[in-house]
Amino acid sequence: MCTHSLIADTENGTFYKKLQSEQDTIESWSKKGGHSGNESAPTRRLASGNNSEDLNFYTKLERRLGIDIGVMSPFGDFQKSFTNAAMIGLHFTWEAIAPFALRVSTNRASAYHKNGAASGKLTVSSINIGTQASFPLNRFVPFLKFEGSFNFNDVSFDANKIVTAGSDTFVTTVGLNAGLGIDFIVGREMSFGFEGTYHYLVPKKINLSNGDMFDLGSSYATIGFRVNF
């Protein structure tokens, strides 16, 4: 009877030791994020601490979304009556065949008349579709872009200069954009950069109540800061 009791106690002791060992292993595994010490968890994060790995990860991303913040500088009839204005935009790129990527973007800016807000306001906005070619050089990524654009522009003046005809279409005009810029990679999935673009628009004349004509398809340029992620 004593022999059987001793054997049972020994077996129970061995069982509890194995159970405790398994619990310790599970806790250790959980603290490491469910991976063994030799594996790296495939998490999304700004940086991994390994510069070459981060650069390689970023350059292999096929799709990126970005925000543009800058200044719109008007030309032609826009420049005669309106000031520079703040610009905001979004862009999306999808790399098809390196170094070329499909690019879809939009931008918008509103400028007040040089004589003040009461004298008029100009709003330019566009939807752009085209291509972007990028050329990574370590952390720097210079790029060129070329787009076709659909433009939705609107203008208003004071009571002495009212738009009478020519601005009643949904799409004001179409155009072409050409630009260049450079990005600086700061992590696995993020970069900052600068971009400049010239927006050429097909002329679109509208009539004003004072007998003048105004080109709502005047060209303009944008320059600004961009964030990609």
Per-residue pLDDT tens for 53-62?
888 888 888 8
Average predicted confidence (pLDDT) for the chain: 84
The pLDDT of 211-217, averaged and rounded, is 93
CA 228 vs. chain centroid, Å, equals 5
Give the lowest-confidence range in 37-46, 135-144, 201-210. 37-46
| Cis previous bond, 99, omega within 30 | yes
CA angle, 107 as apex, 153 and 63 as ends, to 5°? 145
Residue 193 has pLDDT above 50, yes or no: yes
CB atoms within 10 A of CB 169: 10
| Whole-angstrom distance, CA of residue 171 vs CA of residue 187 | 39
The model's pTM? 0.76
Q: Say if residues 183 and 193 touch (Cβ distance below 8 Å).
A: yes
pLDDT at 14: 56
Beta bridge partners of 132: 101, 145
| Whole-angstrom distance, CA of residue 40 vs CA of residue 37 | 8
Q: Say if residues 28 and 187 touch (Cβ distance below 8 Å).
A: no
Q: In the structure, what pLDDT confidence band is assigned to residue 23 with cuts at 50, 70 and 90?
A: low
Residue 83 has pLDDT above 90, yes or no: yes
Residue 29 has pLDDT above 80, yes or no: no
What is each CA distance from 135 to 90, 108, 192, in whole angstroms?
A: 21, 28, 15
The pLDDT of 80-86, averaged and rounded, is 97
3-class DSSP state for residue 79? helix
pLDDT at 59: 81
Give the lowest-confidence range in 11-20, 116-125, 150-159, 203-212. 11-20
